[in-house]
């Protein structure tokens, strides 16, 4: 059985809006009493995607949590959290999703492509937003966007 090629074309995807819904950087009292530059930051991600097929729209959400770590790999008491939203239009969305008795089945390559576009943009936002803070500018790791869609429900709810 040959594998069918996905019809995902990144040139048919447009970012309509990108927003920071929430952002925070926190340093506990112990850290503030003895601030040290983190040599590394641990990262954790949460993601979600919703689709509105009739409008060819997608809303992706990416939450990124960071913790500063010292040379001994000890947590420093320095945390950051960013909750980002991205609205995108996918010109050929109807070709990439199927309605299975009211449940949307989404092309896996589409989900990975959307999150790849969003994550790449988010990397720049996080670097810019953490520059000039105790974090000193966090460069998020380069990752396979498929990792970001592992946590997304197979049947996303439509935008409403």
Helix (H) or strand (E) holding 40: strand 40-52
Find, among 146, 155, 11, 18, the residue nearest to 92 by Cα.
Answer: 11
Which runs of consecutive H residues, i.e. helices, occur in 54-154?
A: 93-96, 108-130, 146-149
Overall fold of domain 10-149? Bacterial Protein-export protein SecB (3.10.420)
The whole-angstrom separation of Cα 79 and Cα 65 is 7
One digit per residue, the tens of pLDDT, for the chain of length 160 reads: 334 556 899 999 999 999 999 999 999 999 999 999 999 999 999 999 999 999 999 999 999 999 999 999 999 999 999 999 999 999 999 999 888 887 888 888 999 999 999 999 999 999 999 999 999 999 999 999 888 887 554 433 444 4
Domain boundaries, the chain: 10-149
């Amino acid at each position: 059985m040959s594998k069918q090629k996905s019809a995902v074309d990144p040139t048919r995807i447009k970012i309509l809006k990108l927003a920071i819904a929430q952002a925070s950087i926190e340093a506990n009292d112990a850290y503030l009493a003895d601030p040290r530059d983190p040599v590394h930051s641990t990262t954790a991600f949460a993601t979600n995607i919703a689709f509105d097929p009739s409008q060819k729209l997608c809303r992706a959400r990416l939450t990124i949590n960071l913790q500063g770590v010292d040379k001994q790999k000890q947590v420093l008491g320095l945390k950051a959290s960013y909750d980002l939203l991205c609205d995108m239009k996918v010109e050929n969305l109807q070709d990439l999703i199927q309605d299975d008795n009211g449940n949307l089945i989404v092309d896996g390559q589409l989900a990975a492509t959307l999150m790849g576009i969003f994550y790449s943009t988010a990397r720049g936002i996080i670097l810019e937003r953490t520059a000039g803070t105790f974090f000193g500018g966090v460069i998020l790791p380069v990752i396979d966007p498929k990792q970001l869609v592992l946590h997304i429900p197979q049947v996303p709810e439509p935008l409403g």
